[in-house]
């Protein structure tokens, strides 16, 4: 189902949503854009920026959150009283990231109740990347600028209006009352999406195809490509695990952790007891920090920068694949754009696929 939404009517629609939702949209100064709750429709920067610097995962996994409070000598859970969250203008790479994190926090026998509660009462309205950034590479990791998986609705910018593709029942409720888009408008939106995908560079997709052709493997059908496409990356990284490849690529890294804090799928955290405040708090952490893996005995299984860099790359392109049948990278390009020493993960993967161990 497609709807037609003139941009002049969007502020009124947002105001309507704000009556029942905490509407979160891209906002903030150019050097610190993030998804945050807006107080008025004009604060939503849907057209002004290609994507936020900080990923929207913080809406569901806050940088710091109190899990338990000491009350009268006993620990009590902190009740989440926040209203349902409507995330407006989220890009496909970030919707995809939330779906991957669902596998982490909602899969298996150990469910994260904090993540679960926030995700269950959230709605995601995606925004197609009509002009993808030069640093984006979602098509190389099994997605696209208009990937609709996980979204409740998807907006395509057509200048003076948005063409809204309604995907779920939540999306249907949010956009009911709007006129249906015409066949010509829908076709125009589809064509702009195809043009966006065609304009994107594919930094290592051709190399993957070449490796699979030489080995007799295939990427499979469209339905199972998510699971089959990344295997050649994983296999290649495993094959060079003990090689000098890692000593070469780690030399520039300063271990600042920017790549992990800005990554929409990184989810490492630490839990500490703040005695004076009487609180048990969960804080973001980073595998790129020296003491991240240090044990109580003092032993550190990843004491060197080389091992920490290797762990990060292996986690994204091998370990996550082994555990969750998907890459842990959505190609958002944040780590490429904001690394202070210009490390490019696309070049690392391309180099890995071509590397010949000595």
Q: For residues 50 and 192, state if they share a domain.
A: yes
CA-to-CA separations, 310 to 83, 121, 157, 236, 256, in angstroms, rounded: 40, 37, 39, 13, 15
- Tell me the C-alpha to C-alpha distance, in Å, between residue 165 and each of 93, 128, 172: 17, 11, 9
Q: pLDDT tens, 52-69? A: 999 999 999 999 999 999
Contact 101, 291 (CB under 8 A): no
127 has a pLDDT exceeding 70 = yes
What pLDDT is stored for residue 297 in this prediction? Answer: 95
Give the three-class secondary structure for 120: helix
Look at residues 146, 171, 199 and tell me which one is the last residue of a structural domain: 199
219 and 116: one domain? no
CB 134 within 8 A of CB 337: no
pLDDT tens by residue, 193-230: 888 888 887 777 555 555 555 555 544 433 444 544 55
Average pLDDT over residues 177-186: 94
- Report the alpha-carbon distance of residue 266 to residue 281 in Å, rounded: 18
Q: Give 73's contacts (C-beta < 8 A, 6+ positions apart).
A: none
* pLDDT band with cut points at 50, 70 and 90 for residue 298: very high
Decide which of 199, 221, 256 is a domain's last residue: 199
Nearest to 289, CA basis, from 266, 261, 257: 257
Residues 190 and 210 in one domain: no
Q: What letter does residue 318 receive in the DSSP assignment? A: I
Q: 138, 171, 199 — which closes off a domain?
A: 199
Q: What is the pLDDT of residue 206?
A: 56
**pTM metric for this prediction:** 0.91
Once rounded to an integer, what is the mean pLDDT over residues 311-336? Answer: 95
Same domain assignment for residues 218 and 177: no
Segments forming the whole domain that contains residue 244? 205-354
Does 43 share its domain with 103?
yes
Instruction: Assess whether 174 and 216 both reside in one domain.
Output: no
**Cα separation of 186 and 342, whole Å?**
40
18 and 119 assigned to the same domain: yes
Whether residue 124 is found in the same domain as residue 268 = no
Task: Specify the number of domains making up the chain.
Answer: 2
Same domain for 237 and 169?
no
């Amino acid at each position: 189902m497609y709807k037609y939404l003139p941009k002049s009517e969007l502020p009124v629609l947002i105001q309507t949503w704000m009556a029942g939702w905490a509407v979160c949209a891209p906002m903030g100064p150019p050097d610190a854009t993030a998804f945050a709750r807006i107080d008025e429709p004009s604060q939503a920067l849907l057209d002004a920026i290609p994507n936020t610097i900080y990923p929207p995962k913080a809406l569901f996994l806050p940088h710091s959150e109190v899990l338990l409070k000491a009350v009268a000598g006993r620990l009590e859970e902190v009740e989440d009283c926040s209203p349902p969250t409507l995330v407006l203008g989220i890009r496909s790479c970030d919707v995809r990231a939330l779906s991957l994190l669902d596998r982490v926090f909602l899969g298996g026998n150990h469910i994260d109740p904090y993540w679960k509660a926030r995700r269950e009462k959230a709605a995601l309205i995606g925004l197609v990347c009509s002009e993808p950034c030069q640093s984006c590479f979602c098509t190389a990791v099994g997605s696209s600028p208009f990937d609709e998986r996980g979204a409740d609705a998807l907006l395509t910018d057509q200048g003076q209006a948005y063409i809204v593709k309604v995907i779920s029942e939540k999306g249907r409720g949010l956009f009911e009352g709007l006129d249906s888009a015409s066949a010509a408008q829908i076709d125009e939106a589809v064509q702009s999406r195809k043009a966006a995908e065609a304009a994107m560079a594919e930094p290592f997709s051709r190399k993957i195809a070449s490796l699979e052709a030489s080995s007799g493997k295939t990427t499979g059908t469209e339905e199972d490509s998510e699971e089959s496409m990344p295997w050649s990356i994983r296999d290649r990284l495993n094959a060079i695990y003990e090689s000098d490849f890692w000593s070469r690529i780690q030399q520039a890294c300063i271990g600042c952790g920017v790549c992990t804090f800005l990554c929409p799928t990184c989810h490492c955290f630490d839990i500490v007891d703040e005695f004076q405040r009487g609180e048990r708090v969960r804080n973001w952490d980073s595998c790129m920090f020296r003491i991240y893996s240090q044990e109580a005995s003092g032993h550190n299984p990843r004491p060197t920068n080389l091992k920490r860099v290797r762990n990060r790359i292996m986690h994204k392109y091998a370990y996550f694949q082994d555990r969750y049948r998907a890459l842990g990278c959505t190609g958002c390009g944040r780590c490429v754009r904001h690394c202070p020493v210009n490390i490019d993960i696309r070049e690392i993967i391309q180099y890995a696929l071509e590397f010949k161990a000595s």
